[in-house]
A and B are shown apart, each in its own frame.
Chain A
Amino acid sequence: SQTIHQWPATLVQPVGSPLSLECTVEGTSNPNLYWYRQAAGRGLQLLFYSVGIGQISSEVPQNLSASRPQDRQFILSSKKLLLSDSGFYLCAGQDSLYGYTFGSGTRLTVV
């Protein structure tokens, strides 16, 4: 089965500091990969998705960027965090066999 590894579980960062969240996939090849952000009590907002190595599509303009250096690795980054970047970030993988599988999430607090 497909497994999504995401870390860290929680992160507190000062405003203006850089960010790097990593997500890796196990159990499948060439999955579509996604980064979502979820505000408290709200639905999932799609930030980025990738259909292959080096292929990134952005859904909303923001202070974040994403990269996919390897087939099973998806990275969410920021050069300078803003207070508004605080939230719950979820990585998800999708393939034709397993559908969507989510990571356990990262709670980011920018202070």
Chain B
Amino acid sequence: KNQVEQSPQSLIILEGKNCTLQCNYTVSPFSNLRWYKQDTGRGPVSLTIMTFSENTKSNGRYTATLDADTKQSSLHITASQLSDSASYICVVSLSSDFGQGT
């Protein structure tokens, strides 16, 4: 069973709108959580990384949150642009546990 679950599987939004992607995990022990953006036909690129003690991390219009107690993370995209069209992948700790992406 995959230890990292992402939702939704796919998302269509209007340009300029905000959206939130979810990542739930059961991986233990926990070291850090990363969100990656993967453009079609390209390799994933790191957006944010958060350790156990961090609750939020921003990178421009991308804001990631982490609740280590409930083992949930979210990636919020503000004022979406056409260039945000991509797959977003959640990776937990230093394992090979990847979410399936949104």
Contacts and interface: CB of A to CB of B under 8 A. Distances in A.
Interface of A: 4, 6, 34, 42-44, 46, 49, 88, 90, 92, 94, 96, 99-105, 107
A44 B98 contact: yes
Interface of B: 32, 34, 36, 41-46, 49, 89, 91, 94, 96, 98-101
Contacts of A90: 43-44
Contacts, number: 42
A33 B74 CA distance: 27
A46 B43 CA distance: 14
A91 to B, nearest CB: 8
A contact patch SS = strand
17 contacts: A6-B43, A43-B99, A43-B100, A43-B101, A44-B89, A90-B44, A92-B43, A96-B94, A99-B32, A99-B91, A100-B46, A101-B46, A102-B43, A102-B44, A103-B43, A105-B41, A105-B42
B41 A46 contact: no
A102 to B, nearest CB: 4
B41 to A, nearest CB: 6
A78 B34 CA distance: 32
Given A100-B91, A105-B43, 13 more contacts: A43-B89, A43-B98, A43-B99, A43-B100, A90-B43, A94-B94, A96-B94, A99-B32, A99-B34, A102-B43, A102-B44, A104-B43, A107-B41
